[in-house]
Amino acid sequence: MTELAAVKAALKSQAVETPSWAYGNSGTRFKVFAQPGVPRDPWEKLADAAKVHEFTGVAPTVALHIPWDKVDDYAALAKYAEERGVKLGAINSNTFQDDAYKLGSICHADPAVRRKALDHLLECVDIMDATGSRDLKLWFADGTNYPGQDDLRERQDRLAEGLAEVYRRLGENQRMLLEYKFFEPAFYSTDVPDWGTAYAHCLKLGEKAQVVVDTGHHAPGTNIEFIVATLLREGKLGGFDFNSRFYADDDLMVGAADPFQLFRIMYEVIRGGGFTPSVAFMLDQCHNIEAKIPAIIRSVMNVQEATAKALLVDREALDAAQRSGDVLEANAVIMDAYNTDVRPLLGSLREEMGLDPDPMAAYRRSGWAEKIVAERVGGQQAGWGA
């Protein structure tokens, strides 16, 4: 197999999971912006997600968010998805929108609140059983705003105890993905603020507990690719929530703020043996002012482009330069790959897959945008909290 053929084969195997909530209305802390044609229920979200996969060929699964995507029959929802060419992916829990969670969920000082949160997490595992999902994705808004508000060590004990209960409930082929975020909505201390805390808990739990890296959940200047390399080295990288941020957790389209960073991350994924189904590539984005489906298609394409460039890095030349201490040559090897225009390569790849070489143009011509605006009239549009 030629080098180019190997790159194409790798790209054909890539899968990017799209999030159901990205198809709904979202906004800033001040306003949720409604758009015509936005889905009104999980079924319509899946119909839109199927269109993203139809035009990109590499978005075969859709993550659900509970209770935003709660339905009476999850097996029927899974069947509906498969009939449209996609499958249900990770189940995302929600322990941050109930009034009871004002001071935390599974880290709360009140055992009754902790029990409420744990029952929800266990319900999510029940849903995984019904949908055939592999991954339970956990993000906690738990933390404190003021020194002395709660005991920091006890909160870690409560977290460990709660995670252990959920871990014991996981099935043989199911995993727990623990996400971290260094601040917001807690501003003095966050209970899972960084990859080290997430890693420590996952290490103690066992093999079925992995860390998920949200690319927007880091302080400016953080070397995310170092975190990725380290977690891969330790066998604890379970997946990504891809998005972009200029300042904090902006949840912009992946690759929009710093495409070079996305390339560097993807290089470390490939270098560390993480370009496999065991590392989930998921989007986690809020499309506030741009049209939902085209924005998600663009995000998938951005991940593809960064991956293609990372696959083109001349590993032999890079290794030789690194071993000889040739700093400039080593950097040049990386920059040569990054500066390569991979759009013709990806266009050719899509044609080989029976797809239009330009997914954005194909979507515009499809008439789907006009169709959903005309048909989705009335009812309650999906959005934050629905």
Task: Report the DSSP beta bridge partners of residue 335.
Answer: none
Task: Report the DSSP beta bridge partners of residue 18.
Answer: 62
d(CA 243, CA 257): 9
Task: Report the DSSP beta bridge partners of residue 27.
Answer: 32
Where do the H-state alpha helices sit in the chain?
A: 3-12, 42-56, 74-83, 111-131, 152-169, 195-205, 224-233, 259-271, 292-311, 315-324, 327-338, 343-352, 359-366, 368-375
Delineate the domains of the chain, giving CATH numbers in brackets.
3-375 (3.20.20.150)
Q: Do residues 262 and 220 lie in contact, with contact meaning Cβ atoms separated by under 8 Å?
A: no
d(CA 37, CA 39): 6
Q: Tens-of-pLDDT digits for all 386 residues of the chain? A: 578 889 999 999 999 999 999 999 998 878 888 999 999 999 999 999 999 999 999 999 999 999 999 999 999 999 999 999 999 999 999 999 999 999 999 999 999 999 999 999 999 999 999 999 999 999 999 999 999 999 999 999 999 999 999 999 999 999 999 999 999 999 999 999 999 999 999 999 999 999 999 999 999 999 999 999 999 999 999 999 999 999 999 999 999 999 999 999 999 999 999 999 999 999 999 999 999 999 999 999 999 999 999 999 999 999 999 999 999 999 999 999 999 999 999 999 999 999 999 999 999 999 999 999 999 999 999 987 55
Q: Do residues 106 and 158 lie in contact, with contact meaning Cβ atoms separated by under 8 Å?
A: yes
pLDDT at 386: 53
Task: Report the DSSP beta bridge partners of residue 177.
Answer: 137, 210
pLDDT at 385: 58
Q: Is the pTM of this model over 0.85?
A: yes
pLDDT at 297: 98
pLDDT at 3: 84
